[in-house]
Amino acid sequence: MSARAAGHARPVSTGRRIAAELSLAVGGFGIGTGEFAIMGLLPDIAADLDLSAPEVGHLISAYALGVVIGAPLISVIAARLPRRLLLILLMGVFAAGNFASALAPSYGSVMLFRFLSGMPHGAYFGVAALVAAAMAEPSRRGQAVGRVLLGLTVAVLIGNPLAVWLGQATSWRAAFAAVGATGLLTMALLRGILPDTPASRLNSPMRELSALRLEQVWLTLGIGAIGFGGLFSVVSYIAPTLTEVSGVAPVWVPFALSFVGVGMIIGNMVGGWLADQALMPAIGVLLVWNILVLALFPFAAGHPWTAMFSMLLIGSGVAIGPPLQIRLMDAAPHAQTLAASLNHSAFNMANALGAWLGGLAIAGGYGWTSTGWVGAALALGGLLIFGVALWRMRRHAPG
């Protein structure tokens, strides 16, 4: 069953489809800004709440935990809701969580509201991808999903620096309030632009849960959770690597980090195009690409300009996102909401795994650039899982 058939999409004009994709991307921009900006505001939050940096770092983990738990939970509970209504509600929860974070009086309350802010994350991107794919031509689903995910990558390049600047100039609370306002703007855009598609009468919580019985769903999630962790292994420690190894002055670190964002934007668009050309080969090729660019990083990190070019290449590794999103939708045609939402749970697990293993390598005395080798090993692990998925798919193919 195609994504269009599964979504019961009505034909929409090209102009409205593009406007709808942009409105969905605005939500992704808000979510990405809220997720990443806190990393640059950790010192400000720590000083305001009289906490240590590691304690404040737990707020990042609380958000990620909300993503991992919220994606499957919301997808199952809200199976019967029309997708436009569900997206608006998800943005409402996201906005409320960020406004509450801005007003939270204590560390415990901030922790709770960061968890709640993360819960809509995976479900929003999963449902948004389904809506975009259903509106697009069958041969251009990957590009439509890529355009929706573009909001997340633009957040890395633009939203995150702006939020950090606002938080440092005024208060970290103002940054969260601005993210909440982006959520309200998205709600208005979705209400006014997104076509109102009724939910299928066949949708049900049990039908969505059927995705968890499918081997290809689990294998695809494994590819994302393992193979995508390499990017986070490097990026999580890129600032000290640039200053300690590449010789970049601290004042230039934000400029250097923008190369990762540019690479992500390019990769996101290329990944969507590749997914439309040949889905499974695209996943394999992009995993090999990740292995190569991550293995290059230890050699390129010794000079500022080669390090920044290497960072652009590493950022382009997000190209694997759209193909994996489409693959999950195809692997679970009768439970697309849950399958698509779980993709972002897998990516958050990749974030945690990559950062943890990269930290172990650094703590073990292997140096800052060892994160590149760790990342390449994770991408290789993803490629091995992909090989198993391809073998199992061909073995069970009819005829």
In the chain, what are the domains?
1-201 (1.20.1250.20), 204-399 (1.20.1250.20)
The whole-angstrom separation of Cα 332 and Cα 210 is 8
Query: Residue 6: what pLDDT?
Result: 42
Distances (CA, A) of 371 to 66, 68, 231: 26, 24, 9
337 touches 130 (CB < 8 A): yes
269 touches 152 (CB < 8 A): no
The whole-angstrom separation of Cα 225 and Cα 346 is 5
The whole-angstrom separation of Cα 254 and Cα 265 is 17
Taking alpha carbons only, the member of 377, 393, 348, 392 closest to residue 287 is 377
342 touches 350 (CB < 8 A): no
Query: Residue 317: what pLDDT?
Result: 92
Taking alpha carbons only, the member of 55, 241, 21 closest to residue 136 is 21
Where helices occur in 278-335 by DSSP H, the ranges are 279-300, 304-315, 321-331
The whole-angstrom separation of Cα 382 and Cα 379 is 5
Query: Residue 319: what pLDDT?
Result: 92
Question: What is the rounded (10 degree) CA torsion for 179, 183, 188, 194?
Answer: 130
Under 8 Å CB-to-CB from 368, ≥6 apart: which residues?
Answer: 237, 240, 241, 244, 245, 301, 362
Pick out the chain residues at pLDDT < 70.
Answer: 1-12, 53-54, 198-204, 397-399
DSSP-derived secondary structure letter, 369: T
Which amino acid would we find at residue 230? G
The whole-angstrom separation of Cα 70 and Cα 345 is 9
pTM of the shown model: 0.81
pLDDT tens for 136-175 read: 888 888 888 888 888 888 888 888 888 888 888 898 899 9
The whole-angstrom separation of Cα 83 and Cα 7 is 9
DSSP-derived secondary structure letter, 242: I
Beta strands in the chain (DSSP E): none
Query: Residue 398: what pLDDT?
Result: 64
182 touches 30 (CB < 8 A): yes
The whole-angstrom separation of Cα 29 and Cα 10 is 26
Taking alpha carbons only, the member of 34, 145, 23 closest to residue 87 is 23
Six token digits for residue 209: 């849960």
Length of the chain in residues, anyone?
A: 399
Query: Residue 310: what pLDDT?
Result: 93
Query: Residue 3: what pLDDT?
Result: 41
**Three-class SS of residue 85?**
helix
Query: Residue 1: what pLDDT?
Result: 40
- Indicate the burial class of 15 (C-beta count within 10 angstroms; 0-12, 13-18, 19 or more): exposed
